[in-house]
Structure 1
């Protein structure tokens, strides 16, 4: 449940000499603005008369002109006061704020026109004067505000011109143009856009927000030299990692020490906001990212919206990202289940900040304790379960195989048993590519979990769906290679890689989480879904890229050392066995494996034997049973 709010601290006592803070213009400032507008109103009506009479009004129009000027002045004063036009800054006026000026002027003109329809003939005032007066008033009022903002930005630009950095923007699309406009609006930030580069040759030669498109990305060297560029901004959030990698390579070859930054990929721009505040250093994820995932939101909403959703391992990298993605579909309640109290606490604070209207219940517990787990199911009645709780570190599970049994196998068995008992409609098991032809205890334990989920699917009611979703390594997750490499680089090296030919599949945390939600919406019971991980990446190449992004030269500033393959590790991972080769699903990035035949009796006997061996910490029996059950396993008998 949401914790009680923290008691508020008493407000600090302000010094009597300090003026009270206020976001509103001062009274003198408001009077000054009103005076300028009043002058424009007084000028607008005579100009309207001159326009009405083709700049040659009759001599007897002076009286009607004075009456019309006074009447329309009063109407304009009333409507502009109603819309609060003098509570706003002129130097920072935005285009959307002009709407209130238009409404105020139209209001005055409409009222004036109605009055003139009634009294105009008797006052000898043409009925068109109110309309013409409105046009002139609108032109004068908006013109003064535009001039005030121009003068303000010009003065800021002159002040910051000496220290402004020349910025070259890669990408003349929506993201690039928005960021350039923000740079131009805020010259005090010291960023001066000198031009765009874009591979769409139709844009070359055009100007966007007054900034020219100077060429394509092939012209980086020439443009950097000719315009003395200080920084390059990569503003193509929808591009894949190959494109970003090529651009970064060209930038690094164009000028020694040239700084470059990037607008994050679409996964980080879910809010739809693009701006200077979003610019950051290029990260390894940018070099590996792929085109954005197109989600079938209707399929996902059908099983998440207004449902009670439980996430095990909610404080972990995948679990917490699943929580964030699930919140977008407005669940009825969330059950945050995990053993790490600090991680759950941090997630609570994030939910309070970003999703304050979504109820949640935090449960600190382990999945291997079935009595505690039964209480949670009985109390909160989850309808959808995402199972992301697992021990995942291969070398540690080689040394502690009983913990892989307790947490991964027995814990998962408890979960599927209770999901069946309490009528959970969707059970989604998060699996790993290490479950394919496993050579480690961890991989074998996750293969057993897939079989337990498959067994539950055979016993499920027609209204229940039990599936597994299998994918490879996740960039930036806890204990993964990227954080380890960053720590080693920070320490001055060496960066340790187990083997020069070691390859792995990689995916970003948000991409993996979104595809998990999509796969779960496929709705076919008992299947194993495999996420399209793209091409495998050599770990040593990943290390070299990360060293370069950190501003160092691989094997010169930061050495790379090969430490040798660890127990249970493979040089490469697979996403499915030859027997599992299946078909694509309705989603282009999700495949389904052909299920293997399942002997439920053999599965239950193996799990029981593993549990008994784990209670005795009998490593040899655990390895023997895993090897015997999983066909084709290459588990090594590491001494207990």
Structure 2
């Protein structure tokens, strides 16, 4: 029965538990008063006269102070050093008030020194009760705590250790740091070890988890640390922001799994100061696919640059609701002043897009709406082409007719020498922008004598980048889910590699492109070295504290299975068709001027492609894409 009593107490209603604690504090206050009188008078005390008033005064003074300082909001089983400090502060206020009353009242038979003795005894009793309550309630039989090392013996590590003091899920067994001055010392009784001792520490102390307490370390530094850790059987996680640490709100739930950003080891691409504001400030901006991964991040960054109006175009009702609600909440909080216009619409609906253009006259258009999942578009070639190619054409026509100054297409590295319909369709979308930007006469409508002096009024550009971390269809959430389920992790091919970037980086690049564009530009990002997906899968397993199961390690935890390349998938992706990218004013953004078809040549091809897409004739679609897109090699079924 005794073994289940802590569990039963934890299931009591919160008010019942608070009432018990108040009763205990009241009892300990009266006991402390009796002990104070007994010690002062040097005999077992029997209260009489005005002494009864002092016994009643103690709880009356203490209760409001304890309530005001939150002692009855604390949870006993999570009591830590901060809670004990708060208890000490509350008793100090109470003691000062009690002593002041006794000094002023001068009651007969009541020694003034009781005002000092009783609070001291009361503090000992209350502090001991909190500590014993924590040991009793949190120490019930259950899962053994995991042994934790904190990498980083600085302020972040020390604050984290303090936050863990009342948590039974982990037992902190040490700090690790590469600073020789710190090695061998201790923080709150926990020793600091050198990094060279890590393999021995893990084995000797039974370490299961490592927490990186270095939130401000550069990405390259973090990668170097992870390179030295990923072979150890540890689950490695990182800290939340330092503001949460400083406020004492850190819990185990705040520990974050490492993102791929930590594995890439590339510093984020920083925007050029002052480039975005003048381009966006006071303007009407339209974003298609506003509820998607890239589109929603574009919207978040655009509102910070002070546009007059942001048109959120999205065909998914829930996605539109989600991004509009998020941005409207920020507006209500004073984070921005942009007027938000949610528009439930498809970029393929020409009539609807023309109506939007006529009503709002957007100055900048960011076209992020697209189908991008390679096997899905391969299996639905007609819909993929209608959306990716002719949705883009519809938006280009709207932008030209209603005077948009800038038009930016979000493209992909899969548009370079594509082997799939998705990549080829995005390359055709690029060809449309290039042809329209270079056309010597208006591309839409009859040719006239006046049209010969026409110059494209809209600066068209496209931004080409690789896989985006955290976007829909990204491998990272899939791998994490597969690891959580016990595997296997599925990788298409041992040698498949991809470029990666973060969603904020991608959005910044798109916005910068709109400001850097001269007309018909293809922008691409220097994304560093590509990542081998099999290596990524292996690192995610080992950094989760597990081992890879293979022929050499048949007792491992998670297997990696190679399933074969999917329809239309390539081993390697490229960002550039030509060989001579040109620099821009941004050190990490390159400009490519690639070959294209004149509008007069492209237009008949588009007409035939549209007919084939509407008929959902996959064979005809692939044949036309093969003729339109140099380097497109459709895979045979």
Cα distance in 2 for residues equivalent to 1:206 and 1:173: 12
Q: Secondary structure at the match of 2:524?
A: strand
The corresponding residue for 1:613 is: 609
Cα distance in 1 for residues equivalent to 2:489 and 2:85: 59
The reply to whether residue 287 of structure 1 matches residue 287 of structure 2 is no
What are the equivalent positions in structure 2 for 1:50-89 lying under 5 Å apart?
89=74
- Decide whether aligned partners of structure 1 residues 487 and 214 sit closer, same or farther in structure 2, where only a CA change above 3 A counts: closer
Cα distance in 2 for residues equivalent to 1:25 and 1:295: 54
Question: 2:567, 2:635 within 8 Å by CA — same for their partners in 1?
Answer: no
Deviates more, 1:419-428 or 1:322-331: 322-331
Gaps of 5+ in 1: 1-18, 45-68, 114-119, 124-133, 253-258
Cα distance in 1 for residues equivalent to 2:278 and 2:84: 40
Question: 2:29, 2:122 within 8 Å by CA — same for their partners in 1?
Answer: yes
The corresponding residue for 1:199 is: 178
Cα distance in 2 for residues equivalent to 1:564 and 1:616: 27
The reply to whether residue 635 of structure 1 matches residue 632 of structure 2 is yes
- Decide whether aligned partners of structure 1 residues 604 and 395 sit closer, same or farther in structure 2, where only a CA change above 3 A counts: farther
- Residue 39 of structure 1: CA displacement? 11
Question: 1:528, 1:593 within 8 Å by CA — same for their partners in 2?
Answer: yes
The corresponding residue for 1:591 is: 589
Cα distance in 1 for residues equivalent to 2:480 and 2:135: 43
Cα distance in 1 for residues equivalent to 2:84 and 2:463: 49
Q: Using CA pairs below 8 Å that are at least 6 residues apart, which structure has the higher relative contact order?
A: 2
- Residue 553 of structure 1: CA displacement? 0.9
Question: 1:79, 1:105 within 8 Å by CA — same for their partners in 2?
Answer: no
Q: Secondary structure at the match of 1:172?
A: coil
What does the per-residue CA deviation read over 1:281-331, in whole Å, with 9 as the maximum and x for residues that have no partner? 556665345445555686556666887654322343333444556677787
Cα distance in 1 for residues equivalent to 2:514 and 2:16: 50
What are the equivalent positions in structure 2 for 1:352-431 lying under 5 Å apart?
362-379=342-359, 384-394=364-374, 397=377, 402-422=382-402, 424=404, 427-431=407-411
- Residue 99 of structure 1: CA displacement? 9.4
Cα distance in 1 for residues equivalent to 2:305 and 2:15: 36
What are the equivalent positions in structure 2 for 1:394-473 lying under 5 Å apart?
394=374, 397=377, 402-422=382-402, 424=404, 427-453=407-433, 466-473=460-467
Q: Secondary structure at the match of 2:501?
A: strand
Cα distance in 1 for residues equivalent to 2:522 and 2:604: 24
Question: 1:398, 1:568 within 8 Å by CA — same for their partners in 2?
Answer: no
- Decide whether aligned partners of structure 1 residues 354 and 248 sit closer, same or farther in structure 2, where only a CA change above 3 A counts: farther
Of 119, 143, 152, which residue of structure 2 is paired with 1:171?
Answer: 152
- Decide whether aligned partners of structure 1 residues 251 and 636 sit closer, same or farther in structure 2, where only a CA change above 3 A counts: closer
Question: 1:610, 1:622 within 8 Å by CA — same for their partners in 2?
Answer: no
The corresponding residue for 1:263 is: 238
- Decide whether aligned partners of structure 1 residues 519 and 37 sit closer, same or farther in structure 2, where only a CA change above 3 A counts: farther
- Residue 472 of structure 1: CA displacement? 0.7
- Decide whether aligned partners of structure 1 residues 445 and 88 sit closer, same or farther in structure 2, where only a CA change above 3 A counts: closer
Gaps of 5+ in 2: 1-10, 37-53, 107-114, 439-454
The corresponding residue for 2:191 is: 212
- Residue 195 of structure 1: CA displacement? 0.5
Question: 1:613, 1:619 within 8 Å by CA — same for their partners in 2?
Answer: no
Q: Secondary structure at the match of 2:294?
A: helix
The corresponding residue for 2:49 is: none
Cα distance in 2 for residues equivalent to 1:360 and 1:288: 36
- Decide whether aligned partners of structure 1 residues 614 and 244 sit closer, same or farther in structure 2, where only a CA change above 3 A counts: farther
The corresponding residue for 2:227 is: 246
- Decide whether aligned partners of structure 1 residues 93 and 308 sit closer, same or farther in structure 2, where only a CA change above 3 A counts: farther
Count of residues in correspondence between the two structures: 575
Q: Secondary structure at the match of 2:165?
A: helix
What does the per-residue CA deviation read over 1:419-465, in whole Å, with 9 as the maximum and x for residues that have no partner? 3444556543221112334455433432343354456777676xx76
The corresponding residue for 2:6 is: none
- Residue 415 of structure 1: CA displacement? 1.7
Cα distance in 2 for residues equivalent to 1:540 and 1:364: 40
The corresponding residue for 1:180 is: 161
The corresponding residue for 1:226 is: 204
The reply to whether residue 497 of structure 1 matches residue 492 of structure 2 is yes
Cα distance in 2 for residues equivalent to 1:34 and 1:309: 64
Question: 1:502, 1:540 within 8 Å by CA — same for their partners in 2?
Answer: yes
CA RMSD of aligned residues (A): 5.9
What does the per-residue CA deviation read over 1:555-592, in whole Å, with 9 as the maximum and x for residues that have no partner? 5764644635854736442346313242460xx5x312
Cα distance in 2 for residues equivalent to 1:377 and 1:135: 78
Question: 1:503, 1:536 within 8 Å by CA — same for their partners in 2?
Answer: yes
Question: 1:235, 1:262 within 8 Å by CA — same for their partners in 2?
Answer: no
The corresponding residue for 1:553 is: 549
- Decide whether aligned partners of structure 1 residues 637 and 80 sit closer, same or farther in structure 2, where only a CA change above 3 A counts: closer
- Residue 333 of structure 1: CA displacement? 6.4
Cα distance in 2 for residues equivalent to 1:467 and 1:176: 46
What does the per-residue CA deviation read over 1:7-47, in whole Å, with 9 as the maximum and x for residues that have no partner? xxxxxxxxxxxx99667985785687689899999x99xxx
Question: 1:308, 1:384 within 8 Å by CA — same for their partners in 2?
Answer: yes
Cα distance in 2 for residues equivalent to 1:23 and 1:330: 49
- Decide whether aligned partners of structure 1 residues 224 and 551 sit closer, same or farther in structure 2, where only a CA change above 3 A counts: closer
- Residue 608 of structure 1: CA displacement? 4.8
